[in-house]
Chain A
Amino acid sequence: MIRNMAVLLAVIGLVAMFLPMVTDFQERENLNELAADYVEGSINDLNTPNVVTSVIVTYRGLDTLGEVTVLFLATVGVGLLLKGRKEDMIRISSSELLGTTSSVLVAMIMILGIYIFTHGHLTPGGGFQGGVVIASGFLLMLLSNVNVKMNHSIMHFVESFSGVAYVGIGVAGLVLAIGFLNPGILPLGRFGELFSAGAIPVIYSLIGLKVGSELTSILVTMGGEK
């Protein structure tokens, strides 16, 4: 009884705390100063139609580098905790239907993932989303084909190469352009084309490769293989 009352009091307190967010909410008519600056800068200075991408890769580029680092540490943690426990997963051979479908679908899923991260500056999506799509393609491969073997050295090479290249582009921006991770090291090109917006597509492709290989190695470690 007392416990229930305490829970009720805690819920009421929480509601009272968040109530001003609902009652005082009013829709803004126009962007605030910082947001307006980002929107204009993204179109005029960076040639990037997708404002979200220009914020993630350029204006808040250091945060994205931190995010990639967090994901890397998580992958290392999973690998370290589950090391040496290479027991089999469910070794039931997959059905005919799944096997045949996946041989067609895997390639299409991979191409969709590559499309998402190379067009991150033009259409919604980007490195993280594309990387996850690629990892899900590898997951389908793992589930449908029992005897599939992942080449760990290639995966680790892709991961470390994209990480080093990402930081390298950042340092190149420090030397050649305005600051760390500035995309101005490559020509900005024409607005709305695939090869435009400076280094943004390059950086997002590297993030996509890194996220894809990291998540695939998490799935392989968690799923367990021979």
Chain B
Amino acid sequence: MIPVIIIGLGVIMLAAAIAAVYFKSLLASIISAGVISLLASVIYLILGSPDVAMTEASIGSGLTTVIFLFALHRVRKGKSDD
């Protein structure tokens, strides 16, 4: 059962990664990249390493997404000034 769950999560991660490249909207790409980290942390938890799972969930899907959003906002603002 566990290998099936892990493979399923891996397939969703791959789909999210490909979607992140092909999305027209940068916002959707950033959210999609955050989803990859969130699913990776679930896989770490299933494989029995809660420490890594916590790091991945908080840094990978939380903080990095927010920092990307801030950077996107700054870049858009810089463009509209010119």
Q: Name A residues whose Cβ lies closer than 8 Å to a Cβ of B.
A: 50, 52-53, 87, 89-90, 116, 124-126, 128-129, 132-133, 135-136, 139, 215, 218-219, 222-224
Contacts and interface: CB of A to CB of B under 8 A. Distances in A.
A215 B55 CA distance: 14
Contact of A129 (B55, B67, B77): B55
19 contacts: A53-B51, A124-B50, A124-B54, A125-B50, A125-B51, A129-B51, A129-B54, A132-B55, A132-B63, A135-B63, A136-B63, A139-B66, A215-B63, A218-B67, A219-B70, A222-B67, A222-B70, A222-B71, A224-B74
B52 to A, nearest CB: 8
Interface of B: 49-51, 53-55, 58-59, 62-63, 66-67, 70-71, 73-74, 77
A18 to B, nearest CB: 15
A132 to B, nearest CB: 4
Q: List the 7 shortest-distance A-B pairs measured between CB atoms, nearest first.
A: A124-B50, A222-B70, A132-B58, A129-B54, A52-B51, A124-B51, A125-B54
Contacts of B54: 116, 124-125, 129
B62 to A, nearest CB: 6
Contacts, number: 44
A219 B67 contact: yes
Nearest to A82: B74
Nearest to B50: A124
B21 to A, nearest CB: 14
Nearest to A52: B51
Which of A50, A126, A128, A132 has the largest count of B CB atoms less than 10 A from its CB?
Answer: A132
A133 B77 CA distance: 29
A188 B60 CA distance: 34
Given A133-B58, A218-B67, 16 more contacts: A50-B51, A53-B51, A124-B54, A125-B50, A125-B51, A126-B51, A128-B55, A129-B58, A132-B55, A132-B58, A132-B63, A136-B58, A136-B62, A215-B63, A222-B74, A224-B74
Contacts of B50: 124-125
A67 B77 CA distance: 33
B14 to A, nearest CB: 14
B73 A90 contact: yes
Given A52-B51, A215-B63, A222-B70, A87 B58 contact: no
